[in-house]
Structure formats: C-alpha cells, structure tokens
Structure 1
Amino acid sequence: MRGRVLIVAGSDSGGGAGIQADIKAVTALGGYAMTAVTALTAQDTHGVQAVMPVPPEFIALQMRLCLADIGADAVKTGMLACAEVIETVAEVLSEVGVPALVVDPVMAAKGGQRLLEDRAVSVAITRLLPITTLLTPNTVEAAALTGLPLESFEGDSLDGMRRAADRLLDFGTHAVLVKGGHRAGPVVTDLLVTRGGEHSYSAPRFDSVHTHGTGCTLASAIACGLAQGLAAPQAVERAHAYVQEAIRTAPGFGGGHGPLNHMHTVRPFP
C-alpha cells in the first residue's frame, strides 16, 4: 500500500459515486484512502432523492484529524455543495498544505440533480482553484466555470476544450483535465493542459448506461497516482485506462445509471 489520499466529498448511498467510489478507486490502485464527508445523499441508480449537508466545522475537524495524524500525499475534493463548505476546505488546506490537490468540481448528479449552489462557483474560482494541482471538469462544468458557451465544446476540434483549460489556468490552477464524455461522437477524448503543454487521452465510447461515478472515480484515481509519485500526465494516463476498463466490465447493477467495476484490478481470494 503506497500513497495516502484524503477524500473530501459527499456520500453515495448507492455506492456508485462519491466517497464510496473514491475509496474503491484508491484502494484498487494500491493507495490508502481517508475521508471527510461533506454531505449524505439518499440515492440509487435512478438519481438523488435527498441531501443532508454536514456542518462545515465538522468537515474541518474530519480533515484536520486525518491530516495531523496520518497525513496525506494528495487530497481530492468532490461534492462541496455550498460556498461555506468551499471556504472551509480551502482554509484548512491553505493552513496545513498538501503535496497535491485534485479538484473534481461536482455541479450535478448523473440524473441532473443540482449539487452545487450558484454562489459557490465564484467562491471555488477565488478560493479553491488557486491552490489546485489538477482540476477535472467535464465540458458542462468547464462552461459554467469559464462562462464559455457550451456549444463551443462541440465539433471535431478540441479548441473549445483548450480555450476553457487556458482560462482555468489563468484562475491559478496548475493543470486542467477537460473531460470529453459529454461531447458527441464514437470516440471520447479528455484533454490535459498544463503550463508546460498538453496531452490528450482517447478511447472508444462504450454504449452503456452503467457510467455512474465515472468523474469521481477518475479524479480519485488521478489523486492516487499523484500521491504515489507519478507526474500528472502519467497519473491521468493510468487513471484513464483504469476507468475505461471499469466501464467495460461494469456489473450491470440497478435499473438506471449503474456503477462501474472498481475492483477489476483486484484478484479475489480462491
């Protein structure tokens, strides 16, 4: 076991996304996962039915205890929900300092339920992005963060994704992975842009509804790679391959957007 990852995110009662997916991904890639739960959700493969927020001061306590005792080689944030929580998380991380911070700007659930308040977007830009090592927005989230029209991300060109990444780098983050899963076409391409250049990662699109938690899983897999000493392009490459196989071998659970096979790297006991 190598690489300590503190995950600051919401819980998914269905186990496909959120804290549950994060723990599975980090564990399956040989890392050690800790958690600071930001919200409880009642959900299944059909969507989120209810959300119960965790008080910001309790989120901070969870973070501080983990960081002071066990320590972390990387931190990954997921569902932060509101401006007060983002402020709290940013404050703790700025005080303590961590080698790497991966931010998945979770704005909506797979079923479309809103998971981030409008006011929280501007707070994330001013407080969280300047201390972020790698930001992982999909094209919808990238459009919301940058103000670029969603239509600019469509078509065969990656120019829209590139423009969004450049604008997000201007906000202070060190690297941006714009995920292309929401774009049309038989091939899905994710674009990593850093201050030193860019890398693209492409794979055939799977004709499957069992993709719940792909964003959470990818971000946590990247955080695990960074915690284990991989450079950003290599961490993204390994995480991308891990998620593709997890989608390909998804178990088919549930009647809606089902979970991935997070454990495809794990050999079961005989």
Structure 2
Amino acid sequence: MTAQRPCVLVFAGHDPSGGAGIQADIEAIAAQGAHALTVITSLTVQDNNQVYAVYPVDSEIVVAQARSLIKNFTVKVLKLGIAGSAQNARAIASLIAELQASNPDLAVVLDPVLSSGHGQALGLDDAVLALKPLVEVATLITPNLPEVKRLAPHGLTATQQAVSLLGGHCQNVLLKGGHASDEHVCNRWFRQSKQLSEISWNWPRLEGEFHGSGCTLAAAIAGQLACGHTMEKSLYAAQLYTQLCLQKAYSIAAGQLIPQR
C-alpha cells in the first residue's frame, strides 16, 4: 500500500543559497513526515550572509499557483514566510480568509520575517504594514525578539508585546529568544483559549550564526501540525528538531552556517 503524506501549503521566497526560504521549508517539512506544496512569492538575490535584492512575483501568479494546488490537494496546514510585497500579502490573506470561511480550524503558521538576519529588507514596502494582513489570518505567529518589538505597540515588555498579538484567529504566539544573550535560548509559548497561559522551553545557546533557523522552526511546526499532533507537541518536537539541525550545521562559505535539516 502506498503511503500518503499530509500536505502543507507554503508561501515563501526563493533563496538561491539554499539556506533559507522555500528550500529550507521543503526540507524541514519533509523531515517531519509531511509534504510541502510550494508557492514562490519572490525571487531574491542573496548568499548565506547578505540580501542584495528582492523581486516579488506578480500577485496574480502567486494566487494562481495556490489555487491550482488547493483545487487538487487536501491542505492540512499553511506556512507563511516572506510575501515580497504588500500587494502579495493582501492577496495571500484574502485567499486564506476564503479557506478559513469553510474550515475555521485551519492552522496557519506565520514566520513574521521583517528583514534578513543582518537587517536587509525582504520586500518592497514597509515591512510591518505589509505583514499586517497576514498577522490577521495567522493562527500561530513565531516572532523573534526584534520582530515582536516592531509588530507590537511601543512601551511594552517583550511578554506584553507577544500577548498583544493574540486575538482573532491568532490563539498562539511562540516568542523566540535567539536574539537575547543568556546562556540558554528561552522560547515562550503564549496561548489564548479560555484564559491566557504560558509555557517556556530552554535550549543551550550554540556558537556561530545560522542562515534559515527561523524558517526551519516554523516549517517544522507546520509539518508536525499537518501530521496531526497537538500544538504543544508540535512546538516541542519542532524546537528539538531545529536544535539538532543547528548542532549539526555545516559551512558552504565564510559566514553563516546552514542547518543540517
């Protein structure tokens, strides 16, 4: 009997270095036992350290890619990376809203990438404003500390910033602690159901810089959810997987290492 894998529909950009973006998503989702259906939102000019240019795919092409996949495959989970432009973000969000109307429990994992690891822009428009439509349809958002600071109102603590993202479709926020300087990386899960709850995990901080670690984690979570695991189990399993990927990371050139996915 032929084995069948659950499908994750991914919207993300293409990184020609193979370290982040759509290639990272494909590898991480496959490692969880799921299959990635991939819609490329933008082409980038980058290596494992720097982003030099971003060229968004036309929004009509982005939507056409997605609709052809939705028509022929059962999509268990959606994973969102960079949209490339505000127009693309609006088009993707509108399509997701259609899917949520018929399937309110559809999981949508958003990795809210606002810039590259070294601060280069990954889209043509104001990154925070462009991301807003996707934040509104996401059910899980996975910001790092700099991202949550930009997405949330000013003058709040990191905890308050993360909690401020809860509401509407979004019942879960995983706040990643990789940009802190503590001995351990503390990732904190904020969940809003009948009441607010928090669970945290601590992971040994590894030496070096990594290209595509955020993509890897968010995609792994999506793959775990697609395989039918609970949110808590998916978050833990994806973090453990990502930690092992970083421990075994390899070099392709000077600079950031590539997770061994």
TM-score by length of 2: 0.91
How far apart, in 2, do the equivalents of 1:113 and 1:171 lie?
30
1:81 matched to which residue of 2? 84
1:260 matched to which residue of 2? 259
2:212 matched to which residue of 1? 213
How far apart, in 2, do the equivalents of 1:106 and 1:66 lie?
24
1:173 matched to which residue of 2? 170
How far apart, in 2, do the equivalents of 1:92 and 1:183 lie?
36
Q: Identity rate of aligned residues, in percent?
A: 35
Task: State the one-letter code of the partner of 2:136.
Answer: P
Question: CA offset at residue 123 of structure 1?
Answer: 4.9
Whether the 8 Å contact between 1:139 and 1:161 is mirrored in structure 2 is yes
Closer/same/farther in 2, CA of residues 116 and 140 from structure 1, 3 Å limit: farther
For residue 147 of structure 1, give the secondary structure of its aligned residue in structure 2: coil
Whether the 8 Å contact between 2:5 and 2:35 is mirrored in structure 1 is yes
Task: State the one-letter code of the partner of 2:204.
Answer: P
Whether the 8 Å contact between 2:149 and 2:158 is mirrored in structure 1 is no
How far apart, in 2, do the equivalents of 1:116 and 1:135 lie?
19
2:137 matched to which residue of 1? 131
Whether the 8 Å contact between 2:54 and 2:84 is mirrored in structure 1 is no
For residue 236 of structure 2, give the secondary structure of its aligned residue in structure 1: helix
Task: State the one-letter code of the partner of 1:208.
Answer: G
Question: CA offset at residue 122 of structure 1?
Answer: 3.2
How far apart, in 1, do the equivalents of 2:254 and 2:131 lie?
34
Whether the 8 Å contact between 1:7 and 1:33 is mirrored in structure 2 is yes
1:164 pairs with one of 158, 161, 168: 161
Whether the 8 Å contact between 2:49 and 2:211 is mirrored in structure 1 is no
1:114 matched to which residue of 2? 121
Deviations 1:34-66 (A, max 9, x none): 101000112111211222210001000111111
User: Any stretches of 5+ residues in structure 1 without a counterpart?
Assistant: 153-159, 263-270
Deviations 1:54-88 (A, max 9, x none): 00010001111111111210000001132111100
- Do structure 1's residue 31 and structure 2's residue 25 form an aligned pair? no
Closer/same/farther in 2, CA of residues 65 and 137 from structure 1, 3 Å limit: same
Alignment of 1:2-17 (within 5 A): 2-17=5-20
Question: CA offset at residue 171 of structure 1?
Answer: 6.1
2:24 pairs with one of 12, 17, 21: 21
Task: State the one-letter code of the partner of 2:173.
Answer: V
2:184 matched to which residue of 1? 187
For residue 169 of structure 1, give the secondary structure of its aligned residue in structure 2: coil
Task: State the one-letter code of the partner of 1:222.
Answer: I
Question: CA offset at residue 172 of structure 1?
Answer: 4.7
Whether the 8 Å contact between 2:221 and 2:234 is mirrored in structure 1 is yes
2:44 matched to which residue of 1? 41
For the aligned residue pairs, the C-alpha RMSD in angstroms reads 1.6
How far apart, in 1, do the equivalents of 2:118 and 2:48 lie?
9
1:61 matched to which residue of 2? 64
Question: CA offset at residue 33 of structure 1?
Answer: 0.7
Which stretch has the larger CA shift, 247-256 or 215-224?
A: 247-256
Question: CA offset at residue 162 of structure 1?
Answer: 1.9
- Do structure 1's residue 100 and structure 2's residue 107 form an aligned pair? yes
Deviations 1:105-130 (A, max 9, x none): 111112221114554523533x3223
Closer/same/farther in 2, CA of residues 172 and 74 from structure 1, 3 Å limit: closer
Task: State the one-letter code of the partner of 1:233.
Answer: E
Closer/same/farther in 2, CA of residues 131 and 46 from structure 1, 3 Å limit: closer
TM-score by length of 1: 0.88
Whether the 8 Å contact between 1:81 and 1:120 is mirrored in structure 2 is no
How far apart, in 2, do the equivalents of 1:118 and 1:12 lie?
19
Aligned length: 251
- Do structure 1's residue 140 and structure 2's residue 143 form an aligned pair? no
For residue 166 of structure 2, give the secondary structure of its aligned residue in structure 1: helix
Deviations 1:126-170 (A, max 9, x none): x32232110011111101100335xx6xxxxxxx33211210014
Whether the 8 Å contact between 1:247 and 1:260 is mirrored in structure 2 is yes
